[in-house]
Structure formats: structure tokens, C-alpha cells
Amino acid sequence: MKIAVWGLGTHVIKNILPAIKEVRGLDLVGCTTRDIIVSERVAKEYNCNSWTSPSDMLKEDIDIVYLGTPPGLHFEQGLKILNSNKHFWCEKPFTVNLKDTLKLVEIAEAKDLSVCEGFMYLYHPHYLHVKNYLTNNLLGEVRTVKIDFGLPEIKKPGYRNDLSLGGSCFYDVGSYVFSLLSDCFDLEDMELVYSNVVKDKSTGVDQGGVAHIIIKSQINCILEWTYNRSYKNDITIWADKGMLYSDKIFSKDSSFSPKIELKNINGQAYLETISSSNHFVLMLKSFLDNIEDLKNRKKERERLKCLSFLMEEFKNTSSL
């Protein structure tokens, strides 16, 4: 399948392009971005085309476009990709509001095209192992889930301080914690009982937030995300017969071997070690499989909609 990349930020250059080259069945045919110098440098490194404009790219014989532009642009650019009859794979967040997400999913379904959102951690054995403990009550009845994701000050924040481009800690970082909950539990089982966000007074961009969600009237889920704090990226599960803690649940290097700390009912601890993996490669392999696997393609569309519903409810409740 011929794939092109639209948008060449640091993340795409560091993680997505190398992952594409590792996936059998994907052929990187070109890239486009506003910075022509960057585009030509990447094209030379990967021996592929460099288009001066996205319109030129979309006229080409391409099967898939991976979109790595700022979130505020995803809807309009996603429309162009789908209307050119190409599969649309996108960096998170898919869009910055529910209406736009539903529209893109509707078009993709009508055109029989795949739409996928780049939450790479969902495909790592680390997360899948933790999810098994959480959703199958392997520690007994789950009572509390605490999920935190925070980043230190970003030296070059780029679009993150620009509302017009989708700048938002909620969508940049908070989307991870909400996506985990959305992937593990049914939307109808969730009740949002508390929400709060902190905004930068000069830019109006939210800098962090917290949410308290109760699932099935018994599981307390505390979600927190933030900029400008010491790095934190972990999950704690507290059940009636044991507990689980694991670091780097969302972001990690491909060489990192995750650890899961487990405690029994009496607090005795033991560790499980998970093999290292490149979750970007695993993600792209899954996206590629979705093109042929109609069941998984439908599952991804439903995941996109459920997460967008959940985040929209938080936005409305917290006046984000």
C-alpha cells in the first residue's frame, strides 16, 4: 500500500517515518509540509517524493495519507484526504470536537475507507497486559483507577499555545487518559461527577485538568493531565484482592522493558516484566490490517466515536 505523510513535525520525523519503513506492506512514496527545506531533506533521506503542496500530493496514486499536522487542522485536511478517496490515518486527537469526528467517520464509512487515530500505546503488550488485569477483574473487584500524564515545560511548544491550531493540554495530553478509559469500559457505564481545567490567562489555552468518573456506580476513576510539571505517566489499579502499578503506560522508547508491580491482598509485592516493543510499528501494522479486516475497521470507527463523545461531555461540563 502506497502511503504519504502530510506534516513533518518532530514526532513524525522521529517516530512515524522510521516505523513506516519497518512495516512490511507499506511503501512510503512521499511527504509534504509547509517547510519545503524539511520536506526535501526527508525525501532525500527516505528516497521518496517531496510535494510542494498537499493538493499536488492528493492528485497522486496513493492509498493512504498519514496526517501529522496540528489538531485544529485535522477536520478540514481530513475531508480533503477522504474526498480524494484515500485511507485517512491521523495523529491524535482525530479532531477537536464531536461533530467533526462524526462527520469524518460518516464519510469514511460511505466511501469504504479506513480512519485510524494514532494512540500508539493501545497496541503495546504493556498496555494490553494491564488492560487484561483491569477489565477481567484479575485482582478482584476494581474499586479505584488513577491515571496520570504530565509533561515538564516544553521549550518549543509550537501550536500548543495557539487556540486556532487546536492548542490544548486536554487534547494533547488529556486525550491519552480519556482514551484508556474509553477503550476499557462502555460509555453508558460512565458518570462524570467532577471536572476542572486550568487555563493560561494570556493565551486562553488550557494547561491541565482533572476528572472524576464513576463506572458502574462502583469504580472511582481519577484522571489528571497537565503541562509544566515533573514528568508523570502511570496507572494505579486498586481492587479488593490486590493492586497494580505501572509506569510509562502511554509513552516509552522501543528499547524500554515495562514493569508491572503487583500486590496481593496483604500487600506482598512482585513484579512482572513485559518485553520491549516499538508501539508505533505495532500501531501501523494494525492500521494496515484494518484496511482488509472490516470487523476491525468498524471497531476503530466505534472507538473514535466513543472517545469523542466522552471528551465532548467533559468539555461541556467543564466549560473548556
What is the side-by-side order of every strand in the sheet holding 232-239? Answer: 190-199, 206-215, 219-226, 142-150, 232-239, 242-247, 259-264, 269-273
Just give the CATH number of 121-277: 3.30.360.10
Distance between CA atoms of residues 216 and 231, nearest Å = 31
**pLDDT number for residue 156:** 86
**pLDDT number for residue 301:** 96
Distance between CA atoms of residues 17 and 108, nearest Å = 24
Distance between CA atoms of residues 33 and 246, nearest Å = 37
Is there a contact between 66 and 9 (Cβ–Cβ < 8 Å)? no
**pLDDT number for residue 320:** 82
Separate counts of helices (H) and strands (E) for the chain: 11, 14
Distance between CA atoms of residues 36 and 30, nearest Å = 13
Domain segments of the chain: what residues?
2-117, 121-277
Q: Which residue has the cell 506482598?
A: 268
How many degrees, rounded to 5, is the angle at CA 272 between CA 271 and CA 278?
135
Q: Which CATH superfamily is domain 2-117 in?
A: NAD(P)-binding Rossmann-like Domain (3.40.50.720)
Distance between CA atoms of residues 294 and 58, nearest Å = 24
Burial level of 190, CB count in 10 A (0-12/13-18/19+)?
A: buried
- Each of the 320 residues of the chain gets a pLDDT tens digit; together they read 999 999 999 999 999 999 999 999 999 999 999 999 999 999 999 999 999 999 999 999 999 999 999 999 999 999 999 999 999 999 999 999 999 999 999 999 999 999 999 999 999 999 999 999 999 999 999 999 999 999 999 888 889 999 999 999 999 999 999 999 999 999 999 999 999 999 999 999 999 999 999 999 999 999 999 999 999 999 999 999 999 999 999 999 999 999 999 999 999 999 999 999 999 999 999 999 999 999 999 999 999 999 999 999 999 988 78
Q: Which residue has the cell 496540528?
A: 70
Residue 266: CA count within 13 A, CB half-sphere: 1
Is there a contact between 93 and 175 (Cβ–Cβ < 8 Å)? yes
Distance between CA atoms of residues 309 and 97, nearest Å = 9
**pLDDT number for residue 43:** 97
Q: Which residues, 6 or more positions from 44, have their beta carbon under 8 angstroms from its beta carbon?
A: none
**Crossing angle between the packed helical segments 98-111 and 294-318, to the nearest 10 degrees:** 170
Distance between CA atoms of residues 261 and 271, nearest Å = 5
Q: Which residue has the cell 494505579?
A: 236
Helical (H) or strand (E) element with 51? strand 49-51
Positive or negative: CA dihedral 107, 109, 115, 119 = positive
**pLDDT number for residue 158:** 87
**pLDDT number for residue 260:** 98
Strand 206-215 to 190-199 pairing: antiparallel
Distance between CA atoms of residues 189 and 187, nearest Å = 5
**pLDDT number for residue 108:** 97
